[in-house]
Homo-oligomer: A and B are copies of this chain.
Amino acid sequence: MSTTTSTQIQLASRPTGWPTHDNFQTVQVTYEAPKPGQVRVRNEFVSVDPYMRGRMNDVRSYTPPYQLRERITGGAVGRVVESSAEELPVGTVVLHQHGWSDIIQDDAASFRAIPEVPGVPLSLNLHILGMTGMTAYVGLTAIAGLKEGDTVFVSGAAGAVGTAVGQIAKLLGASRVIGSAGSAEKVALLTEKYGYDAAFNYKDGDVRGQLAAAAPNGIDVFFDNVGGDHLEAALAAFNDGGRAALCGAISAYNETSAVPGPNNMSNIITRALTLKGFTLGSYLHLAPEFQAKMGEWFPAGKINYDETIVDGIENTVDAFLDMMRGANTGKMLVRVTK
Chain A residues engaging chain B, CB cutoff 8 angstroms? 54, 59-62, 227, 231-232, 240, 246-249, 252, 258-279, 282
B269-A248 in contact (CB<8A): yes
In the assembled complex, how far is the CB of residue A129 from the closest CB belonging to chain B, in whole angstroms? 24
B261-A262 in contact (CB<8A): yes
CB-CB under 8 A for A272 and B277, given A240-B62, A260-B260: yes
Q: Which residues of B contact A270 (CB under 8 A)?
A: 54, 59-62, 277, 279
Distance in angstroms between the alpha carbons of A336 and B60 in the assembled complex: 55
B263-A261 in contact (CB<8A): yes
Distance in angstroms between the alpha carbons of A248 and B269 in the assembled complex: 7
Q: Which residues of B contact A265 (CB under 8 A)?
A: 227, 231, 249, 252, 259, 261-262
CB-CB under 8 A for A266 and B240, given A274-B275, A275-B274: no
Q: Which residues of B contact A279 (CB under 8 A)?
A: 269-270, 272
CB-CB under 8 A for A266 and B227, given A277-B271, A277-B273, A282-B272: yes
Q: Which residues of B contact A259 (CB under 8 A)?
A: 263, 265
Distance in angstroms between the alpha carbons of A182 and B281 in the assembled complex: 40
Q: List 30 A-B contacts (CB under 8 A).
A: A59-B270, A60-B270, A62-B240, A62-B270, A62-B271, A62-B272, A232-B261, A246-B269, A247-B269, A248-B269, A249-B265, A249-B269, A260-B262, A260-B263, A261-B263, A261-B264, A261-B265, A267-B277, A268-B275, A268-B276, A269-B277, A269-B278, A271-B277, A272-B278, A272-B282, A273-B276, A274-B274, A274-B275, A275-B275, A275-B276
A274-B272 in contact (CB<8A): no
CB-CB under 8 A for A274 and B277, given A227-B266, A240-B62, A261-B262: yes
Q: Which residue of B lies closest to A278 (CB)?
A: B272
In the assembled complex, how far is the CB of residue A106 from the closest CB belonging to chain B, in whole angstroms? 27
Q: Which residue of B lies closest to A268 (CB)?
A: B277
In the assembled complex, how far is the CB of residue A2 from the closest CB belonging to chain B, in whole angstroms? 42
In the assembled complex, how far is the CB of residue A240 from the closest CB belonging to chain B, in whole angstroms? 6
Distance in angstroms between the alpha carbons of A100 and B126 in the assembled complex: 63
In the assembled complex, how far is the CB of residue A62 from the closest CB belonging to chain B, in whole angstroms? 6
In the assembled complex, how far is the CB of residue A133 from the closest CB belonging to chain B, in whole angstroms? 19
Q: Which residues of B contact A248 (CB under 8 A)?
A: 269
Distance in angstroms between the alpha carbons of A246 and B272 in the assembled complex: 9
Q: Which residues of B contact A264 (CB under 8 A)?
A: 258, 261
